[in-house]
Amino acid sequence: MSAEEVESLGDRDNCGFMNTTVVRGRGDLVVVATGMSTEVGRLAGMLAEAPQQLTPLQRQLDALGKRLAAIAVVAVLVVFALAILQGEDLEEAMIESVALAVAAIPEGLPAVVTVTLALGVSRMAEQNAIVKRLASVETLGSTTAICSDKTGTLTLNQMTAVKVITGSGRFDVSGLGYGIVGSVADTPDTDGFPASTVAAGDPGGSGERRHRDASIALGALCNDAEVRFDGDGEAVEVVGDPTEVALVVLAAKVGVDVASLRRSRPRMAEVPFDSTKKFMATLHQHPDDTDRSQLVVKGAPDVVLDRCVALGVGATAVELDERLRGRVMEENSALGSAGLRVLAVASRSLPVRASEFEADLAAEVGDLELEVPRGHPRPAPARGGGGGRALPRRRDRGEDDHRGPRDHRGCDRSGVGNPR
């Protein structure tokens, strides 16, 4: 390929560059460059070769020095000429002229500038800001706007599940961050939920809690994130998308050992998430029947809901009619309007062992039921909005943050809760 035919960086859609983090999907990679031969290395070389720029104050001091020098030269010539015209000795006239030139130079100016900048450094240190170079203080003082990458700079790039919604109510989740701190409420808020589904779900009963916990566990099963906790419940190793990590942490809060769950029910097939389908699907052995398999789907509430036919409520499954579909989408809109990112989790039982499944898994993502207790093959209602099972909703932690992809109406009206 000639130099003219080389694709620009933005068009190399089959390349992954150094420092890129892969958060979902699978693939084989071939390393074609390392170190300074990479694009990041090339940028580092360009930065190292860039000339040192003067700060505005340094440029002003240079200009002032040149003006004073020019004035001093003119003054010296004038004084020297007048002294000669007045008949003074040549040597005395020269001494007077040189003395005037020396007096015109402000020797104390550098010291005054240095002390002023040092005072600025001291004041910034009082505000827990450490400055390495004095010139940086002056540059900061001249700054009118700061453009910063929010995620990981102003925030921590973490998300936290704050609510789980099943067919019979909303469960609040306490605790922020990636530690196993906090819990899921035992009794749901049933305000606004249909009386029929509330009664069937036995709010606060053991059956509803089992259904809720089974739904949460499926969210961690259909998931690519890896989280390792220490003895105190703090996350010491986190790999994956913050949204999926939040699901794993949520599962840990209800007592699910995600690593053991994944070992006992390994993934036998999958449909990776992509922004076009807006869902991810995985296939596992059924927890209660060795002759069957369980399809688990996680994705955007509206997309998952369109593929659901039933809603799991407690130990039963209710037909997902138009009234219930509308109620689910109302809940989803309310969560979106509150600035929360909403996901739905659903499942389906397939009449074949997971190890023997050979069909197209994507074609099986339909006729889902909202999940019933213990992960029976019914999709659970998306947490706040999608068709499926208990759907954990998570929000970023910290201050108002970028909203997640604006996939749902209502998300444009309020800021996202809390990417840390």
Whole-angstrom distance, CA of residue 322 vs CA of residue 306: 11
DSSP secondary structure letter of residue 387: S
Judged on CB neighbours under 10 Å (0-12, 13-18, 19+), 291 is exposed
Tokens of 344: 């739905």
> DSSP secondary structure string, 7-19?
PPGGG-TT---TT
Q: Considering Cα of 252, then 256, then 262, then 267, what sign does the dihedral take?
A: negative
253 neighbors 182 (Cβ within 8 angstroms): yes
Whole-angstrom distance, CA of residue 66 vs CA of residue 21: 51
The radius of gyration computed from the CA coordinates of the chain, to the nearest angstrom, equals 33
409 neighbors 336 (Cβ within 8 angstroms): yes
CB neighbour list of residue 321: distance below 8 Å, 6 or more residues apart: none
Ramachandran region, residue 294 (left: φ > 0; alpha: ψ -120 to 50; beta: rest): beta
**Is 149 annotated in the active site?**
yes
Q: How far is CA 75 from CA 83, 93, 103, in A?
A: 12, 13, 11
Q: How far is CA 51 from CA 33, 48, 54, 63, 200, in A?
A: 27, 8, 10, 20, 72
Which amino acid appears at position 13 of this protein? D
Which amino acid appears at position 56 of this protein? P
Whole-angstrom distance, CA of residue 180 vs CA of residue 382: 23
Tokens of 17: 């560059």
In 250-279, which positions are buried (b, 16+ CB within 10 angstroms) versus exposed (e)?
A: bbbbbebebeebeeebeebbbbebeeeeeb
**Catalytic position from the list 149, 191, 232, 360:** 149
Catalytic residue annotation = 149
